[in-house]
Amino acid sequence: MSKPCDVSDYQRLAQKRVPRMFFDYADSGSWTESTYRRNETDFQRLLLRQRVAVDMTRRSTATSMAGDKVSMPVALAPTGLTGMQHADGEILAAQAAEQFGVPFTLSTMSICSIEDVAAHTQKPFWFQLYVMRDRDFIGRLIDRAKAAGCSALMVTLDLQILGQRHKDIRNGLSAPPKMTLNSLLQLATRPHWCLKMLGTRRRGFGNIIGHVSGVSDLSSLGAWTAEQFDPQLSWDDIDWIRERWGGKLILKGILDPEDARMAARTGADALIVSNHGGRQLDGAPSSIAMLPTILDAVGDDIEVHVDGGIRSGQDVLKAVCLGAKGTYIGRPFLYGLGAAGKAGVDDVLRILHQELDTTMALCGERLLTNLGRHNLLEPTLFDRPVQ
């Protein structure tokens, strides 16, 4: 295959190089996957206004997200099992993001631990928190993120129970993979992946194993995790988390205007319009379609970001035109990571930036901060009355 030109090229490469159970984990949604697909296709409905005979020199995509200066309004989203796409995946992705000048967000369900990533990076990264029943563990996890110098805490609100993901069930997903006939056949066709994995000690959930009473290996971890996602999570818990953390707070998983208003009342620094990449409530609207409604609901009370379905720099630009102050990519950087390690993540970020910069110029803009609904042909396409 020739040099990848876009994210879809890396998607195809990753599919060839990553065992099916882990590729499918990243590249799938819940139930019928209708929301997963809608996240992407709704971006295609947004049309851009082409402008000509304007000065396109001295362009800049620089801006800020939650107070952090960024080279473009893109952050690497928290993704579980990143270290199963490629050995030491979280460390490699964090290093790529650091070099490019965009935030990296480490998942609670990462393979590499908070301390692993901090030891291999120079600048602060963000940490994403799942709220578990074991509040003592959660408190210690927040303290570990603080001790590692994380500059923002992101609380995911839409995973109180796990959406049914059929591909994971059929593949018998586990980390590391259980030695079944199915998994052995998958591994046998991915020798490069296996060789890399043999060269690292990081093959379990580094933020959890050894940090929870009674959880010392993967066999005990599975039972603990199944019981720990907290279905009683409430807005009162956000107050406790904010007080314990004491720093910048981002709330992820907002898809309803009333929830957005509640998020703004917590005093958080930003919220993320998100349906968990189509991996939770199948049949929900796309994130980009709900962005204008959420923005109308909160006004300037809280900074609004968006994730889900972003596959190009043009998608980033369209989200910014609708009013998002930042965007997140999960699958695109995982494709790059699975295909080529850190070099793949580097190249995915380069591709997205080039697409963003070129599209901005062809829309007649030099500064990303000047983008707005005036750059869209139908700026009210996704507008809905606020309930």
* Catalytic residue positions, numbered: 276
Query: Is 311 annotated as ligand-binding?
Result: yes
| Residue 79 assigned to a binding site | yes
Please indicate if the annotation marks 279 as binding a ligand. yes
- Separation of alpha carbons 188 and 185, rounded Å: 5
384 known member of a binding site: no
- Residue 8 contacts residue 344 (beta carbons within 8 Å): no
Q: What's the per-residue H, E or C state across 255-318?
A: CCHHHHHHHHHCCCCEEEECCHHHCCCCCCCCHHHHHHHHHHHHCCCCEEEEECCCCCHHHHHH
Residue 350 is labelled as binding a ligand: no
Is 107 one of the annotated binding-site residues?
Answer: yes
Q: What is the dihedral of CA 372, 374, 378, 382, to 10 degrees?
A: 30
State the DSSP code for 364.
T
Question: Does residue 107 contact residue 82 with C-beta atoms inside 8 Å?
Answer: yes
What are the backbone angles phi and psi of residue 73, rounded to the nearest 5°?
A: -80, 60
Tell me: is residue 2 an annotated ligand-binding position: no
Consult the annotation and say whether 10 binds a ligand.
no
Give the number of other Cβ atoms within 10 Å of residue 36's Cβ: 24
In three-state secondary structure terms, 142 is helix
Q: What are phi and psi of 212, to 5 degrees?
A: -125, 135
Tell me whether residue 331 is annotated as binding.
yes
Residue 325 assigned to a binding site: no
Per-residue tokens: 347: 């190249």
239 annotated among ligand-binding-site residues: no
Residues in the chain: 387
Q: What are phi and psi of 16, to 5 degrees?
A: -80, -25
Amino acid letter, residue 44: Q
310 is in an annotated binding site: yes
Helix (H, G, I), strand (E, B) or coil at 25: helix
What backbone torsions phi and psi does residue 238 show, to the nearest 5 degrees?
A: -65, -40
Q: Is 144 annotated as a binding residue?
A: no
189 annotated among ligand-binding-site residues? no
Q: How far is 256 from 254, CA to CA, in rounded Å?
A: 6
Residue written as token pair 């929830």: 259
User: Does 266 show up as a binding residue in the annotation?
Assistant: no
Q: Map tokens 């997903």 to a residue.
A: 173
Flag whether 285 is marked binding. no
Q: Which residues are annotated as a binding site for FMN?
A: 78-80, 107, 128, 130, 156, 252, 274, 307-311, 330-331
Q: Which residues are annotated as a binding site for glyoxylate?
A: 25, 165, 276, 279
Q: Which residues are annotated as a binding site?
A: 25, 78-80, 107, 128, 130, 156, 165, 252, 274, 276, 279, 307-311, 330-331
